[in-house]
Amino acid sequence: MPQLGLLHGRVWASLLGKLLRPPGAVCIGAVHSHSQGTRDLTPQQMVVREKILDLVVSCFKRHGAKGLDTPAFELKEVLTEKYGEDSGLIYDLQDQGGELLSLRYDLTVPFARYLAMNKVKKMKRYHVGKVWRRESPTIVQGRYREFCQCDFDIAGQFDPMIPDAECLKIMCEILSGLQLGDFLIKVNDRRILDGMFAVCGVPESKFHTICSSIDKLGKMSWKDVRHEMVAKKGLAPEVADRIGDYVQCHGGVSLVEQMFQDPRLSQNKQALEGLGDLKLLFEYVTLFGIAEKISFDLSLARGLDYYTGVVYEAVLLPTPAQAEEEPLNVGSVAAGGRYDGLVGMFDPKGHKVPCVGLSIGVERIFSIVEQKMKTFGEKIRTTETQVFVASPQKNFLQERLKLIAELWDAGIKAELLYKNNPKLLTQLHYCENMGIPLVVIVGEQELKEGVIKLRSVASREEVAIKRENLVAEIQKRLSES
């Protein structure tokens, strides 16, 4: 069976399909957010996360990535001057003696630091971990000051655009597998942007700050972005308008061709390099069968300082209804790009290791899925218990304990009530509420006859089984179900 199908099956069968059972299971809990802008994750949320992260990580492994882990905090200097205007959002640790430390802001900079520190010239790695940013949390969007990132990166000197194309393929596989609805991947190139700025007459000193203004398109209207560039950042109005003509453009490979012919842009060496690579990229994504998902978009900038070439961002396409409500809120769920200079910043001799990568916006995806489930009132099992050990009579704790130890030692997921003499009804209700499929019942009668009663919670059927055959019988039933 195709794995994407299988994964999709695994995820949605449990997320959306089987979710109406067990009856009593709890619905995705309300968000437990704290004054400090973080939150606890409830068991229901953890189940959703586990399944989504499983799908993401299997995709990363399918593409040959190795796992890597770096510490939550880095030396403060490692993080400085990597995040442009966002650097103010970095959490610093208090100086309690020793080095000045900061919590990591993303997983990319620590990865680059790792490569340089260990002189690694080639590596395909994935990293799932938390990052921290001092943003004012806007809970609606599922934004918190602590959140999970899933990164995949390819480091090394290779022939152009082959790893870059694989990154786009991975984004497509994951977003299709999660079935979040229709999506589009906007692609641009930092060199095209810089070329565009140059030919429009932006002074080079303003490239970075204008770039981060452009990055706000989508969240802000062109009118507001233009105002920011002119009023706040002192850009000449006519320069802003020239930029305006370009950033309206988006399309397929034909737009790349068109830009090659553009009288102004075609005069800029950098822009031509970027366009050349994009042309190649479109050739490769066509071979990967995902060309119709890719859109060359001159308004895509990406805020981070460290990008040097192609940049991309996956957005979920709003349904007509959504589009009417909030026309500007295109939901970015994955993004990335090429950063050929970052590793060199950590190498004493400045040796460069070209890198390209992507980050899946899993938090956004978690909240979309949780929202869906709330809307459909779907329930979810938070434990995996297969068998419950019960007794109808008093003074059977000893028998129950002996029995359950046998099940545990056989690898069977089993529970009992931590009471000396629970009522049978209480025990059976627990099974129904928790969605436990099987109950093992031991009482005086069974003890005399050397049997155990095995009850199916769903059908309420009970059969007597020889004590010594119990484990085998349970394993048989579980393998069948």
**176 versus 329: smaller Cβ distance to its own copies:** 176
CB of residue 350 vs its own copies: minimum separation in angstroms? 21
Q: Does 138 bind its own copies (CB under 8 A)?
A: no
133 labeled binding residue: yes
Look at residues 35, 36, 219, 40 and name the one whose alpha carbon lies nearest to residue 134.
Answer: 36
**101 versus 301: smaller Cβ distance to its own copies:** 101
List the interface residues with its own copies, window 162-191 (CB under 8 A).
162-163, 165, 169, 173
Q: Does 287 bind its own copies (CB under 8 A)?
A: yes
CB of residue 41 vs its own copies: minimum separation in angstroms? 4
**155 versus 200: smaller Cβ distance to its own copies:** 155
CB of residue 154 vs its own copies: minimum separation in angstroms? 8
Total chain residues near its own copies (CB under 8 A): 86
CB of residue 216 vs its own copies: minimum separation in angstroms? 24
Look at residues 177, 261, 247 and name the one whose alpha carbon lies nearest to residue 213.
Answer: 247
Burial annotation 68-82 (CB, 10 A radius, 16+ → b, else e): beeeebbeeebbeeb
96 labeled binding residue: no
Among residues 107, 154, 298, 300, the one that binds its own copies under rule CB under 8 A:
154
Return the bridge partners of 338, or none: 356
Q: Does 2 bind its own copies (CB under 8 A)?
A: yes
Look at residues 474, 469, 329 and name the one whose alpha carbon lies nearest to residue 387.
Answer: 474
List the interface residues with its own copies, window 90-109 (CB under 8 A).
91-96, 98-99, 101, 103
Give residues with Cβ within 8 angstroms of 8, minimum separation 6: 55, 177, 178, 179
User: In what order do the strands lie in the sheet containing 294-297?
Assistant: 66-67, 123-132, 146-155, 355-360, 331-338, 310-316, 183-189, 294-297, 250-251
CA angle 35–39–45, rounded 5-degree value? 155
298 labeled binding residue: no
Please give the Cα distance from 383 to 294 (Å, whole number). 40
**9 versus 443: smaller Cβ distance to its own copies:** 9
List the interface residues with its own copies, window 414-433 (CB under 8 A).
414-415, 418-420
Q: Three-state DSSP class for 390?
A: strand
CB of residue 248 vs its own copies: minimum separation in angstroms? 32
Q: Does 87 bind its own copies (CB under 8 A)?
A: no
Among residues 83, 105, 114, 197, the one that binds its own copies under rule CB under 8 A:
114
Interface segment toward its own copies; rule CB under 8 A; list 17-25, 244-252, 413-421, 439-447: 413-421
306 labeled binding residue: yes
Look at residues 209, 249, 248 and name the one whose alpha carbon lies nearest to residue 230.
Answer: 209
Tell me the per-residue interface mask from 360 to 389 with its own copies, x by CB under 8 A, - otherwise.
----------------------xxxx----
339 labeled binding residue: no
107 labeled binding residue: yes
Q: Does 24 bind its own copies (CB under 8 A)?
A: no
Are 453 and 442 in contact by the 8 Å Cβ rule? The answer is yes
Among residues 13, 20, 75, 458, the one that binds its own copies under rule CB under 8 A:
75
Interface segment toward its own copies; rule CB under 8 A; list 180-188, 322-330, 396-404, 460-468: 396-404
**13 versus 75: smaller Cβ distance to its own copies:** 75
Interface segment toward its own copies; rule CB under 8 A; list 180-188, 195-203, 314-322, 412-420: 412-420
302 labeled binding residue: yes
**70 versus 393: smaller Cβ distance to its own copies:** 70
List the interface residues with its own copies, window 254-273 (CB under 8 A).
none
Q: What are phi and psi of 22, to 5 degrees?
A: -75, 155
Give residues with Cβ within 8 angstroms of 274, minimum separation 6: 189, 190, 191, 192, 195, 309, 310
List the interface residues with its own copies, window 26-65 (CB under 8 A).
32, 34-36, 38-43, 45-47, 50, 61-65
Q: How many CB atoms lie within 10 A of CB 48?
A: 22
347 labeled binding residue: no
Please give the Cα distance from 323 to 327 (Å, whole number). 5
**101 versus 304: smaller Cβ distance to its own copies:** 101
CA angle 108–125–312, rounded 5-degree value? 55
Return the bridge partners of 27, or none: 379
Among residues 119, 159, 205, 324, the one that binds its own copies under rule CB under 8 A:
159
Please give the Cα distance from 455 to 443 (Å, whole number). 13
Please give the Cα distance from 166 to 153 (Å, whole number). 10
Please give the Cα distance from 390 to 405 (Å, whole number). 13
**137 versus 361: smaller Cβ distance to its own copies:** 137
10 Å CB burial of residue 188 (0-12, 13-18, 19+) is buried
Task: Check residue 121 and report its DSSP letter.
Answer: -
Residue numbers in the known binding site for L-histidine are 106-108, 133, 149, 153, 302, 306-307
